[in-house]
Structure 1
Amino acid sequence: MKTLFLVRHAKSDWPVNTADFDRPLSERGHQDAPKMAEFLKSKNVEIDTFVSSPAKRAITTCRYFAEIFENDNIRKVEKLYNASTVDFLEVIENLSDEIENVALFSHNNGITYFANSLTNENIMHMPTCAVVGFKINTKTWQDFLKAEKEFLFFYTPKEI
């Protein structure tokens, strides 16, 4: 069994003359990211590896989670910036099988589309810093696509 967590980056700011890729977190984002990480940790969620879009708002959110989980095993993957469902699948299917519990940090609209493709739950829209969890019935990430997936939870900062 494997566990996959999909995390949309925390609320970002958009300062003047800042490229989308370089957008930082807003004040609310800096509050929500550690709050959500602490909440998940209190629910006994385990994360072995953090895989993030290299965009500033995503990697900053990821670093908050890594700090709370006391685990600095972070990988930046370019494909998670403006990722499509195919990009998510490629990233997941190339994970090492030594990883049991992985969190992917990415952006909308791709992360919402991908989350909805994995479940019959009606997620509709992942707001900033939302987290969706899935149990994956497989021993190898290469079999992710055909593996049975069990929806575990969908949390947003406003709900916790």
Structure 2
Amino acid sequence: MKTLFLVRHAKSSRDDPSLPDRERPLNDRGRQDAPAMGKRLSKRGVKPDLLVSSPALRALTTAQLIADEIGYQRKDIIVDERLYASSPDDLLAIICALDDKVDRAMLFGHNPEFSNLAHRLSSDVIDMPTCAVAEFRFDAKAWADVGEVGPAKVKLDAPKK
């Protein structure tokens, strides 16, 4: 069984228009929502083997805040350039190439790519609001199968739920 978590970054600030897109920080709501979602995941017993984040500050900060709540070491978060400004096809290729020793992977990134990929994996997911977590469980032994088989279970959670 392989479990994939797609996490859209928490609400970001647009207060400083001079900042490059990658350097936009979380706003106050984002800094509240990310730990709250991490606490929800922790209460459900979510323990990913791998956290991979976009290099954008808002995504990486979301990953760090959630990692703190689920007991994952910040230093072990992998930053992958390919999760920034990618396509659903590229994201799926990244997922399919994950090491099969990993059973539970959590990726942090952006819309519209994450919503589009989530919807492609399951029509149950229409949109991912900020800081939403889409969980997909696959009856598969290899990540390469993820694009070929539909998920056995799907769950979508978001701060306002």
**Class of the TM-score when normalised by the shorter of the 2 chains:** over 0.9
Misfit runs of 4+, over 4 Å:
none
Query: In structure 2, how many angstroms separate the alpha carbons of the residues matched to 1:142 and 1:118?
Result: 13
**Where in structure 2 are there 5+ consecutive unaligned residues?**
none
- Provide the residue aligned with 1:54 in structure 2: 55
1:75-154 equivalent positions in 2, closer than 5 A: 75-121=78-124, 123-154=125-156
One-letter code aligned to 2:9:
H
- Provide the residue aligned with 1:11 in structure 2: 11
Does structure 2 conserve the Cα–Cα contact (< 8 Å) formed by 1:116 and 1:124? Answer: yes
**Residue correspondences, number:** 158
SS in structure 2 of the partner of residue 157 of structure 1: coil
SS in structure 2 of the partner of residue 158 of structure 1: coil
SS in structure 1 of the partner of residue 123 of structure 2: coil
Q: TM-score, normalised by structure 2?
A: 0.93
Q: TM-score, normalised by structure 1?
A: 0.94
Does structure 1 conserve the Cα–Cα contact (< 8 Å) formed by 2:122 and 2:150? Answer: no
- Provide the residue aligned with 2:77 in structure 1: 74
Percent identical among aligned pairs is 41
Does structure 1 conserve the Cα–Cα contact (< 8 Å) formed by 2:11 and 2:26? Answer: yes
RMSD value, Cα? 1.1
User: Cα–Cα, structure 1 residues 30 and 17, in superposed 2: closer, same or farther, change >3 Å?
Assistant: same
Once the two structures are TM-superposed, the CA of residue 115 in structure 1 deviates from its matched residue by: 0.3
